[in-house]
């Protein structure tokens, strides 16, 4: 309540959690993040691999996005292609907008490869990112 103007707008919480304020508005869908605010738009998309490597690309470089249920999602970024392979990439567990729609609306700040075992017991409609190729 008594935070200074600098602390308020510097992007950090006053609590000892170390979390950025930005993270308050991101839902974790397991395989990707989803910006909650109706007007929120991500400036960049982080592509996180299992081995710890990360590629962050600007949404402004996104020329087109293709979705093919058997091949996954292909991002065309300024002459470079990134392929996201997995299951249930066009729906989420509640049957509403999925990863493909989130990317086209700039609502997805990150995508994460995970082992299938991490999603065990979460149902058959859970999006799973098996591999990201760049």
Our count of domains for the chain comes to 1
> Is a pLDDT exceeding 50 seen at residue 34?
yes
Q: Is residue 3 part of a domain?
A: no
Q: Does a structural domain hold residue 2?
A: no
Residue 15 in any domain: the answer is: no
- Identify the domain containing residue 92 by its residue range: 22-133
User: pTM for the full model?
Assistant: 0.73
Average pLDDT, the chain: 81
Alpha carbon 1 to its chain's center: 31
63 is a domain residue: yes
- Whether 121 is covered by a domain: the verdict is yes
Three-class DSSP category at 45 = strand
Domain-located, residue 6:
no
Which DSSP string corresponds to 6-42?
A: HHHHTTB-SSTT--BGGGGGEEE-SSBEEE-STT---
User: Two tokens at 30?
Assistant: 């397991």
Of 12 and 8, the structure prediction assigns the larger pLDDT to 8
* Residue 85 belongs to a domain: yes
Query: Over the stretch 72-128, which tens digit does the pLDDT of each residue have?
Result: 999 999 889 999 999 888 876 555 678 999 999 999 999 999 876 665 655 667 788
For residue 14, tell me if it sits in a domain. no
In this prediction, residues 28-33 reach a mean pLDDT of 86
Q: Is the pLDDT at 18 greater than 60, yes or no?
A: no
**Cα separation of 113 and 51, whole Å?**
9
């Amino acid at each position: 309540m008594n935070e200074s103007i600098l602390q308020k707008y510097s992007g950090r919480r006053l609590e000892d959690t170390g979390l950025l304020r930005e993270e308050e508005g991101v839902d974790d869908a397991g395989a990707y993040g989803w910006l909650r605010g109706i007007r929120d738009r991500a400036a960049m998309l982080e592509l996180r691999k299992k081995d710890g490597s990360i590629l962050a690309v600007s949404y402004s470089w996104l020329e087109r996005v293709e979705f093919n249920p058997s091949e996954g999602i292909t991002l065309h970024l300024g002459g470079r292609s990134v392929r996201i392979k997995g299951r249930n990439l066009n729906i989420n567990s509640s049957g509403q907008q999925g990863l493909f729609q989130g990317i086209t609306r700039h609502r997805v700040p990150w995508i994460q490869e995970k082992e299938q075992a991490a999603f065990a017991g979460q149902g058959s409609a859970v999006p799973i990112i098996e591999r990201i190729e760049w």
